[in-house]
A = this chain, B = another copy of it.
Amino acid sequence: MAARLSRYLQVLTQAKKMGKDRISSQEISDYTNINATQIRRDLSGFGKFGKRGVGYNIDSLLGEIRKILRTQGQHNIALVGAGRLGQAIASSPIFAEHGINIAVVLDTDPDKVGHAIGNLSVQPYATLRDAVRDNNIIVGVLAVPSEGAQQAANDLIDAGVKIVFNYSTALLDVPGDVAVHASNPAVELLYALYFHLT
């Protein structure tokens, strides 16, 4: 359910960038493959955001969904790893679009430290703990080789991080109060292939 709200957020953000200012449940349905009735039901459960005969105002709906997800403010995150993937993440506008601020980029490689990526400069890995504390960071993103993933996760968690996004292939052991989100494009691809072959 909150998963669906996130999808709406994604579609609305894009629709807004394309210059639209309102959207119907049917249009959201076309992009998300979520039933239009379901969408209206989801939204109407929290209030009456739409206008009958017209649709939803994109700006106000974005605000409402952010309010529901309680993710309105700025959120600081830490990015570990300034390799190709780390650079790709840091230089993408994708986080900023949603109010997420990459507060610090760290790497263990002295050759990478000091280099600018995005509008940040790569910090030494040893400053991780201070960076997490000073910026009130509860989300860490791992863009490191799988060998170093567990160690980096441990260090993040030690410093106070509660949510880890793992872009390495490693399986992470973490305490029960820490959430790990792993994203594996290859597995998603196999999953997509399965449905294609059906």
A interface with B by C-beta (< 8 Å): 2-3, 6-7, 9-11, 13-15, 17-18, 31, 69-71, 75, 77, 83-85, 87-89, 91-95, 97-98, 100, 138-139, 141, 162-163, 165, 169-171, 179, 181-197
The prevalent SS among residues of A at the interface is helix
The chain B residue sitting closest to A164, CB to CB, is: B192
Contact A84 B75 (CB under 8 A): no
Output the residue of A15, A92, A97, A100 with the most chain B CB within 10 A: A92
Output the residue of A83, A141, A191 with the most chain B CB within 10 A: A191
Cross-chain pairs A/B with CB under 8 angstroms, 9 sampled: A15-B171, A77-B189, A84-B85, A87-B88, A89-B185, A97-B186, A98-B187, A100-B189, A165-B192
A96–chain B nearest beta-carbon distance, Å: 8
Selected contact of A184 from candidates B17, B75, B94, B179, CB within 8 Å: B94
**Total identical chains:** 2
A146–chain B nearest beta-carbon distance, Å: 8
Given the known interface contacts A77-B189, A84-B91, A95-B186, the answer about A196 and B171 at a Cβ–Cβ threshold of 8 Å is no
A78–chain B nearest beta-carbon distance, Å: 12
Contact A169 B93 (CB under 8 A): yes
Contact B138 A196 (CB under 8 A): yes
Contact B190 A14 (CB under 8 A): no
Contact B9 A190 (CB under 8 A): yes
Which chain B positions have C-beta within 8 A of A192?
139, 163, 165, 179, 181
